[in-house]
Structures are given as structure tokens and as C-alpha cells.
């Protein structure tokens, strides 16, 4: 349906032109609801504003429309474009994500079973220079998983993660609280 490597190569420069880092490009929904999902963030805040989403969506749409007009459409079906931030319980897709979010709880699924298991839950310890991700389960066992063997990984929503997530802006929060108390 769609080659994700090709789409990444098209979309990443559009995100970078806006000062954004591309987190994930996915295509899902099958024949009933084909969706091109793009997640991006501002490197300094790790978040995305609504205006950022709109700007990136326009850039991607314009670029894909131009490719379609040139007869080089990378997606051969009608689809919906969805641009969003990765959210608090974000997917971990880049090597840097595994280092940046060390100390938080994560779920990791492998492409194939390793030592009889395909899914690992626990505290993310990090990633080493060889690209091996370490996660420690609730029993204190550390599992070393090659980055290239990982199918999907995401953070688990916990109080610690919520506390570590900085809001975009707290400007005006005091006034909102005072207004609500009247």
C-alpha cells in the first residue's frame, strides 16, 4: 500500500523545515479507513502545538499533492492524513528515545520471540552504544534487546511520567484558577 521508508524520506524534510523532529510515520486502517499518521515534536519541548500540526499537515499535503500531479504518488489509495504530537505515553521509535526516557516504565514488543518471549514490560534502563536497549522487569531481571529487533515500544502512563512532562505553557494558569473560584 505505502512504503514507509519512502514516506519518511518525503515527510522528514518537511518537518525539519518547520523546526520539528519526526517521531513516527505509520500507515494503518486497511481498506476501510486508510490513514497516514505522522507524529512530530519540537525538540526543545517534546510537544507540538495545534498550529504546528496545521502547518506540518499543509506542508505534507502540498508535497504529496505535487508528487501525485507529477505521477509519482507514493500512496496508491485514497487516505486520511493525521498529524499529531506523540502524546505523553508516546511511542519510542528512535534510538535517542530510549536514552531520553530512561527511568520510565515502557512496553516493548519484538518482531520475533527472544528467549521464549516477545513482550517486555518494565523500567527502561536505556540504550548502549551498540544499540542494545535494556529494560528491567518487576522481578528485577534486566532484558537486553537489540534495537533492530524491536517491533513497537511505548511509554506507559504513570504518575512519574506525568510529573516529568512539562506543559507547553503555564502562563495565565493563576488567573484561570482565580476566575474559577468566583
Q: Give the pLDDT score at 9.
A: 96
Residues 79 and 18 in one domain: yes
Instruction: Examine residue 180 and state whether it is found in any structural domain, yes or no.
Output: no
- Could you read off the pLDDT of 23-61 as tens digits, one per residue? 999 999 888 889 999 999 999 888 899 999 999 999 999
Q: Give the pLDDT score at 49.
A: 92
Instruction: Examine residue 64 and state whether it is found in any structural domain, yes or no.
Output: yes
Q: Give the pLDDT score at 76.
A: 87
138 contact partners, CB below 8 Å, separation of at least 6: 121, 122
Residues 63 and 130 in one domain: no
Residues 47 and 111 in one domain: no
- Could you read off the pLDDT of 55-88 as tens digits, one per residue? 999 999 999 999 999 999 999 899 999 999 998 9
Total domains present in the chain: 2
Instruction: Examine residue 170 and state whether it is found in any structural domain, yes or no.
Output: no
Domain, as residue range, for 142: 95-164
State the pTM of this model: 0.81
Q: CA-CA distance, 67 to 76, in Å (whole number)?
A: 12
CATH number at residue 55: 3.30.300.70
Residues 20 and 61 in one domain: yes
Q: What DSSP letter does each residue of 76-113 carry, written as one string?
A: -S--EEEEE---TT-B--SHHHHHHTTTSEEEEEEEEE
CATH number at residue 109: 2.30.30.100
Instruction: Examine residue 176 and state whether it is found in any structural domain, yes or no.
Output: no
Mean pLDDT lowest for which of 1-10, 46-55, 115-124, 171-180?
171-180
- Could you read off the pLDDT of 100-151 as tens digits, one per residue? 999 999 999 999 999 899 999 999 999 999 999 999 999 999 999 999 999 9
Q: Is the pLDDT of residue 6 over 50?
A: yes
* More confident: 93 or 181: 93
Residues 133 and 101 in one domain: yes
Residues 74 and 117 in one domain: no
Amino acid at each position: 500500500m505505502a512504503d514507509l521508508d519512502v514516506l519518511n524520506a518525503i515527510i522528514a524534510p518537511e518537518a525539519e523545515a518547520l523546526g520539528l523532529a519526526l517521531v513516527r510515520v505509520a500507515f494503518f486502517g486497511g481498506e476501510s479507513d486508510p490513514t497516514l499518521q505522522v507524529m512530530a515534536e519540537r525538540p526543545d519541548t517534546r510537544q507540538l502545538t495545534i498550529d504546528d500540526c496545521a502547518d506540518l499537515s499543509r506542508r505534507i499535503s502540498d508535497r504529496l499533492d505535487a508528487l501525485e500531479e507529477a505521477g509519482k504518488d507514493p500512496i496508491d489509495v485514497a487516505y486520511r492524513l493525521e498529524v499529531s504530537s506523540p502524546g505523553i505515553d508516546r511511542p519510542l521509535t528512535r534510538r535517542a528515545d530510549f536514552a531520553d526516557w530512561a527511568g520510565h516504565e515502557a512496553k516493548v514488543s519484538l518482531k520475533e520471540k527472544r528467549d521464549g518471549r516477545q513482550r517486555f514490560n518494565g523500567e527502561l534502563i536505556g540504550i548502549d552504544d551498540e544499540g542494545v536497549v535494556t529494560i528491567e522487569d518487576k522481578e528485577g531481571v534486566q532484558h537486553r534487546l537489540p534495537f533492530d529487533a524491536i517491533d513497537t515500544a511505548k511509554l506507559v502512563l504513570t504518575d512519574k511520567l506525568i510529573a516529568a512532562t512539562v506543559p507547553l505553557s503555564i502562563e495565565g494558569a493563576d488567573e484561570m484558577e482565580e476566575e474559577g473560584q468566583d
